[in-house]
Amino acid sequence: MTSMTSILATSEAPFSRIKIRAGAVVFCGNEVALIRRDRADSTHYSPPGGNVEDGEDLVAALSRELSEELGLDVDRAEGGDLLWVIDQRVTRPGPTPPPRKLHLIYRLHISPELRDTLAEQELDELPDGSHGVGVIEWIDHRETAELPIFPPIGPALAALADPRAGVADAALDAVTDENYTWV
């Protein structure tokens, strides 16, 4: 007999669930913290952050994720404004239909003294319970346009006149199967 849960799971359409990811571009001068993840066949970067848990406040989620990944106490940083929103609808491997994900990218600024206290690597829990290691790299924001960053904020990040520059439109282009291949 098939359980109702498995019927619901298999009948769920791709992108019918919505997840929210709170992330940040954390600046120290012109440099921004990105997490580099090396895989057997690829390397990619991401801004620190993660999924918002059910019922969790967005700012609390951002604070939790930055503490977990960088060891950053956001109360010691400046800023916190929402910089960009990216709508992700990308097919990915796995047994469950992919969710639609909204990436909320905030902007923070820290001092060199605070930067010196932050983590240099981040442990990423894998589905089998083991951990992958992400390396925290500080990269000049003007040199990010061609980096394999997900969500793809590199061109917008590189286009900032300076780390505190305003943006005309917070909505970056949607990430879909038409313009992105899952790696």
137: which DSSP letter?
E
Q: Are 84 and 173 in contact (CB under 8 A)?
A: no
Digit-coded pLDDT (tens) for 64-113:
999 999 999 999 999 999 999 999 998 877 777 888 999 999 999 999 99
Could you please report the per-residue DSSP string of 150-172? Answer: SS--HHHHHH-SSTT---S-SBP
Coil/strand/helix, residue 64: helix
Domain range summary for the chain, segments of one domain joined by +: 15-176
- What is the pLDDT at residue 105? 98
Window from 7-16, 115-124, 148-157 with minimum mean pLDDT: 7-16
Cα–Cα distance, 71 to 64 (Å, whole number)? 9
- What is the pLDDT at residue 108? 98
How many Cα neighbours within 13 Å face the side chain of 27? 22
Which of 140, 139, 135 is closest to 120 using CA atoms?
Answer: 135
Which of 112, 75, 81, 89 is closest to 16 using CA atoms?
Answer: 89
Digit-coded pLDDT (tens) for 126-167:
778 888 899 999 999 999 999 999 999 999 999 999 999 999
Instruction: Report residue 165 as tokens.
Output: 């520059």
- What is the pLDDT at residue 3? 42
Q: What is the CATH number of domain 15-176?
A: 3.90.79.10
- What is the pLDDT at residue 183? 65
- What is the pLDDT at residue 78? 97
The answer to pTM > 0.85 is yes
Pairing of strands 121-125, 131-140: antiparallel
Using the predicted structure, report yes or no on whether residue 7 has a pLDDT greater than 60.
no
- What is the pLDDT at residue 94? 76
- What is the pLDDT at residue 92? 77
Digit-coded pLDDT (tens) for 20-48:
999 999 999 999 999 999 888 889 999 99
Q: C-alpha distances in angstroms, 63 versus 79, 121, 159?
A: 13, 18, 26
- What is the pLDDT at residue 14? 80
